[in-house]
Each structure stands twice: as C-alpha cells, then as structure tokens.
Amino acid sequence: MGRHLKHFRYVMGENSVTVFAFSLFALIVFLAILGPWITPYDPLATNAANTLQPPSLRNFFGTDHLGRDVFSRVIAATRLDLGIAVSAVSISFVIGSALGCSAGFWGGWTDRIVGRFSDTIMAFPLFVLAMGIVAAMGNTVENIIYATAIINLPFYARVARAETSVRRGAGYVDAARLSGSGDVRILASQIFPNILPPMMVQVSLNMGWAILNAAGLSFIGLGVRPPEAEWGIMVAEGANYIVSGEWWLAIFPGAALMLAVFCFNLLGDGLRDLVDPLRRT
C-alpha cells in the first residue's frame, strides 16, 4: 500500500493538472453531499418581486424568471446530476464487467453473444438510442438512469473482456484451479481484482460522458421535471432568455456542468497515468 501511495504522490507532484482535478472532484462530492444545507436560499422558493436580476452580492448568480436564486439552484443540482451519473455508471460497471468477464474467460458462444450484443448497441448513435429507450420505457428519472446505463454497457464489457482474456491463462489462475477453485470463484477472487484498475479508469473517463448525456436528455425535456433543479433543465429554461441578454440563467448551470465533466475527464487521464504509465502522453 505504501508503494502505491508513493506512486500516487509522485504522479501528483509531476502533474499539477491532476492535483487540480482531484481538488475539483473533492469540491463536487462535497457539494453533492452537503449542497441542500449550504445554499443561501431555498432553491425552489420563488419571489415575484425579484425576477431576472443580474448577478449581485445578494444573488451571486442572479435570479431566474420566477425570482429563484440561480446560485442556490446550481449548487442544489449537483446532487441530482451526480446521482444520476453515479447510478448509471455503477449499473453499467456491474453488468458490463459480469458480461465482459464471462465473455473473456469462457470464450466461445458466451463471447460471441456478448460481442454481438455490444456491437448492436454500438450500431446506434448512442444519444439517439437513449432517447428511444426513455420514450419506450416512460419519461422518468429512473429511466434516464437505465438508458444511460444501457448505452454505456458495451464500453465496460469490452474493457473487461479484453483484460480478462489476457489473464485467462496466467499462472495465478492455474494455481487457483489446482487448489480446487471453480470457474466462478476464480473469476471473482483472482481475475476481477486484477482487472479493477483498468476498469476504474474506464469509470472515470465514462462518468463525464454519463453526466453530459443525462443533462442532454433533460435539456430536451426528458426525465427531470421542473421545478426540480438540474443543470440540463436549467440551461433549457434559461435558453429563452439568452436572446434578450439575461445570460446568467443559462451560462452558470452550463458552466457548472462543463466544469464537472472537465474534472472527470482530467481525473480519468490522471488515473490512467497512475494505472498504465506506458500510455502517458
């Protein structure tokens, strides 16, 4: 463990961008957990006397068309956006690794079926497929999560399959088999822990994309319903006011979204450096 920590510190010292990404990540998680308690105003409280006010000391990010405080709403939305992305990514991680591991370990028909299944999903433009799934299953937040999970499945299945198939004949697998472990036990206790690092890189590279995807779906009016605070829907609500110059309605939630995605992408690159030093660019 100490060796890993040292390597972690080394990579961090090398790369100030990764330090920045990790701090931003900490801030986002902090806001997602504590968000609702630290907003200066109630994110849902309307105030007819104070609508469309530009940013000021009283309302850092201004107020929207119903007089709600944009700053409070942007912070409160962190939990929902991150929640959707984390749930979706966890589902694809669990199902994707199970499918990919079995495909890589057993090969043959399992491999062919899983491969064909991934290919078929990848044959769709993914955002469009997500729209179709939400339309078919019903317009709710849960279905946004399932749709995002389904379109991300192939990425996890592919990484897991590739990493498993190169380890299938490794010495420690043979050793485990000699000591009497069955296939499933070998997969769970020997192979899965070993493919975890590349899978984690995939998770953090994928997380940003999942956030973007979910926000895009709510931007076109799927899933999250107003007055709920969510970045995509806030940008959609603010879009009408852009042409008349009230930029703060859309720009601040959009910037928050961008920063979150940026953070996860940087984090993914940093994690990859940590896990796979050969692929550093």
Q: Which of residues 250-269 bind another protein (CB under 8 A)?
A: 250-251, 254-255, 257-258, 261-262, 265-266, 269
According to DSSP, the residues that pair with 63 across neighbouring strands are 69
To 5 degrees, how large is the angle CA 230–CA 236–CA 240?
140
Q: Could you write out the DSSP letters of every residue in 129-168?
A: HHHHHHHHH-SSHHHHHHHHHHHHHHHHHHHHHHHHHHHT
- Choose the stretch contacting another protein; rule: CB under 8 A; options: 41-49, 83-91, 99-107, 232-240: 232-240
Closest separation in Å from C-beta 217 to another protein: 10
Instruction: For residue 84, state whether it binds another protein (rule: CB under 8 A).
Output: no
> Which residue's entry shows tokens 């409160």?
76
Q: Pick the binder of another protein from 22, 79, 216, 228 (CB under 8 A).
A: 216
Kindly identify the residues of this chain, within the stretch 97-126, that bind another protein according to CB under 8 A: 116, 119-121, 123-126
Cβ-based nearer residue to another protein, 192 or 247: 247
Span near another protein by CB under 8 A; candidates 33-41, 54-62, 96-104, 217-225: 217-225
Structure-block tokens of residue 190: 């020997």
Judged by CB under 8 A, which stretch of 32-40, 50-58, 160-168, 244-252 contacts another protein?
A: 244-252
The values of phi and psi at residue 63, to 5°, are: -125, 160
Dihedral sign for Cα 127, 132, 138, 142, please.
negative
The SS3 assignment for 125 reads coil
Residue type, 279: R
Binding site for another protein (CB under 8 A): 116, 119-121, 123-129, 131-139, 208-209, 212, 215-216, 219-222, 232, 235-236, 238-239, 242-245, 247, 250-251, 254-255, 257-258, 261-262, 265-266, 269, 281
